[in-house]
Structure 1
Amino acid sequence: MRLRTAAQNLSGSLEAEASGGSGHDDGTGRFGHHALLDSTNEARRAARTVRRTWTGLLSESGAPPVGAAPAPNVRHGSSPGETRWIPVLAGPPSEPLSSPRTGQNGRVLSGERTDLGDYLRRQRAAMCPPVAPGDPRVRRRRVPGLRRQELSEVAGISVEYYTRLEQGRAVRPSREVLQALARAFGLSGAERDHLFRLGGESPPQIESPDTVIRPGLLRVLHALDGTMPVTVHDGRLTLLAGNAAASELLAPLTGGTGRYARNIAYQAFTAPGLADLLGEEGAELFTRVAAAELRTALSRYPEDTHLRGLLAELGAVSGRFRDLWERCEVGAWRSAVKRIRHPRRGWLHFDIEMLHDAERDHWVMLYTPRDGA
């Protein structure tokens, strides 16, 4: 009843406003200047009246305002049958407005991926336009770098999709798209890895270890010659370099010949002087570690022909390797204490530490003497 009365009051108010302030025709079919002002004021008063009356209707009926959704759990008032509407935000109530939604792996699921878009824009701005020197089009560019259309053509993706990436509206760029963008921008390994992480993907692994040691690392290796033995091997377990102290200490392992002679796993199962160098217990542990490390290397480079050939060769020449390979052990030893027979000083204990150059997949092995030698 109150709702009907309020509606009648609303209608009466509007009629009173219209009849009390209407303009008059000046004989030309147009309203005069004062009549136009009066009409404008009447419209404003009518709008205020509508808002006030509509608010009253909401408070009496319990209906929700425009844009509000009914609460999932409707609350009831003090009197039976009375329903109260509660405006709520779309989405889970526990989800904060300032936090983007993420998946189980931390991937951003909402459109708030500003970091990726900013990174793409900055890389695009740093690129040189693909035009000849002196071309007048260079002078007409209002922003530095490539246009989106130009960049998308270099990367081989649509300009619409690239625009969505920059604007944060593309939620899940594929690894192929990220790799194409990395090539188009000419990113370094570290920059490419950063791009993949911004895109919610793990960085790609290198296809094969680098065969060249960084010059700075070589200088460090030789500078430590009078302090400790140091070796460098790659992710295939191939020995790349060693200082003079390492060559003297590990001479029984490095006397072999053939394609795999410099591979640590091959040395572990074929070197005749292994037991004299490490002792029986040390030799058994070394072969076990070598087999496990070889399995790890193959999991990292499953299509590597060198490693596949090494696996076949060891399986053919070593029964000990075949037994250990059947155990399917996978290892990653990074720190150890070894007892090694020095050719001039006898048995010595060394703290072994391994440092990894991930960009080239090189491993630096430091032999720190424990005996003060």
Structure 2
Amino acid sequence: MDRQELADFLRSRRERITPAEVGLAAGPRRRTPGLRREEVAQLAYISTEYYTRLEQARAPHPSREVLAQLARALRLSDAERGHLHDLAGTPQGPPPGPSREVRQSIVDLLHRLPQAAAIVLSASHEVIAWNDLAAALMEDFSALSRRDRNLVRRAFLGPHREGGRLYGVSDAEEFARSSVQHLRATAARYPDDPEVTALVEELRAGSEEFARLWAAHDVTAAPTLCKTFDHPVVGPVTVNCDVLDIVDRDQRVVIYTAAPGSPSEEALRLLSVVGTQRMGVAG
């Protein structure tokens, strides 16, 4: 443990965060740049005395749990989180669960694709970002709870299961198989994440189909290159499917585009004009 370097690093990270970024009022007499020590301690759920001793290079070895709380409170990037653990002499270990934080550059990318429907999926198949056209083609994700934005849960336990297909897709069976295979690999990467564990148990208990596919222990999913959405307003929309991996976040960008000059391209163009207005989408 390099106490002095750890102290300097914590101080530098604290001073770069404004109170507004963490929902705190700046106040008229704030002299400290960034956050105060007591504010960081409050956000990290540790005592002000202990955090002060950390910044004074006088504290004992922090636990992995304390470091995780500090990393969250100080909004550290993945690289900074690893550096924090290195300075503390505590191996970081596997990440506790799939990241749901989408880089702003990726969000901006989605909205710069006006002729493509695009979403970002977490490692557990939760839709964590989308553009307006994706909401018009699939559904208004902004109107759903976080729980209902999980596509594996929607596929196996959603209301469409009574005689329907999720979004009317042509590859419903293939998506079901591939989503289970992805989820099994995710469960192996995040064995200690309670949300992933609870999701798997819920699906095993609630869906015989999921339980059967889960029991196969398959983890290799074939890529989907093309699929058709049976949209209730514009009818069938056939799209190419391209998936971009965001390796450092364990996330995937899924982009749906129609062939140039095709009826499906015209359908997407129509959705881009009337679909989001009809559903009041907020991307």
TM-score tier after normalising by the smaller chain length: 0.5 to 0.7
Q: CA deviation at 1:330?
A: 1.6
Aligned pair partner of 2:238 in 333, 342, 348: 348
Partners of 1:203 and 1:330 lie apart in 2 by 26
**2:125 aligned with 1:220, yes or no?**
no
TM-score w.r.t. structure 1 length? 0.44
Which structure has the higher relative contact order (CA within 8 Å, separation 6+)?
A: 2
Give the 3 Å change call, closer, same or farther, for CA 276–298 of structure 1 in structure 2.
Answer: closer
**2:228 aligned with 1:323, yes or no?**
no
Q: Paired residues, what number? A: 205
Aligned residue number for residue 106 of structure 1: none
Q: CA deviation at 1:244?
A: 1.3
Partners of 1:262 and 1:188 lie apart in 2 by 25
Q: CA deviation at 1:207?
A: 1.7
Q: Report if the CA contact (8 A) 2:118-2:130 is conserved.
A: yes
Aligned residue number for residue 232 of structure 1: 120
| Percent identical | 25
Structure 2 gaps, min length 5: 12-55, 266-283
Task: Find the residue that maps to 1:354 and give its secondary structure.
Answer: strand
Q: CA deviation at 1:263?
A: 0.7
Partners of 1:275 and 1:246 lie apart in 2 by 14
Give the 3 Å change call, closer, same or farther, for CA 284–263 of structure 1 in structure 2.
Answer: same
TM-score w.r.t. structure 2 length? 0.56
Q: CA deviation at 1:237?
A: 1.8
Deviating more after overlay: 261-270 vs 309-318:
309-318
Give the 3 Å change call, closer, same or farther, for CA 202–324 of structure 1 in structure 2.
Answer: farther
RMSD: 4.3
Larger fraction in helix: 2
Partners of 2:91 and 2:226 lie apart in 1 by 35
Q: Report if the CA contact (8 A) 2:155-2:166 is conserved.
A: no
Partners of 1:341 and 1:188 lie apart in 2 by 37
Q: Report if the CA contact (8 A) 1:356-1:363 is conserved.
A: yes
Aligned pair partner of 2:147 in 260, 264, 276: 260
Task: Find the residue that maps to 2:229 and give its secondary structure.
Answer: strand
Partners of 1:287 and 1:233 lie apart in 2 by 15
Aligned pair partner of 1:278 in 138, 158, 169: 169
Aligned residue number for residue 339 of structure 1: 227
Q: Report if the CA contact (8 A) 2:167-2:230 is conserved.
A: no
Which structure 2 residues correspond to residues 77-156 of structure 1 after superposition, within 5 A? 154=59, 156=61
CA distances 1:35-74 after superposition (whole Å, capped 9, x unpaired): xxxxxxxxxxxxxxxxxxxxxxxxxxxxxxxxxxxxxxxx
Aligned residue number for residue 189 of structure 1: 78
Partners of 2:257 and 2:105 lie apart in 1 by 20
CA distances 1:199-223 after superposition (whole Å, capped 9, x unpaired): xx99743223344433332222222
**2:117 aligned with 1:250, yes or no?**
no
Task: Find the residue that maps to 2:199 and give its secondary structure.
Answer: helix
Q: Report if the CA contact (8 A) 1:350-1:367 is conserved.
A: yes
Aligned pair partner of 1:367 in 256, 278, 281: 256
Aligned residue number for residue 297 of structure 1: 186
Q: CA deviation at 1:227?
A: 2.0
- Which structure has the bigger radius of gyration? 1
Partners of 1:323 and 1:287 lie apart in 2 by 11
Q: Report if the CA contact (8 A) 2:6-2:84 is conserved.
A: no
Structure 1 gaps, min length 5: 1-119, 129-149, 158-175
CA distances 1:246-289 after superposition (whole Å, capped 9, x unpaired): 112223x969977732111112213424277222xx11111001
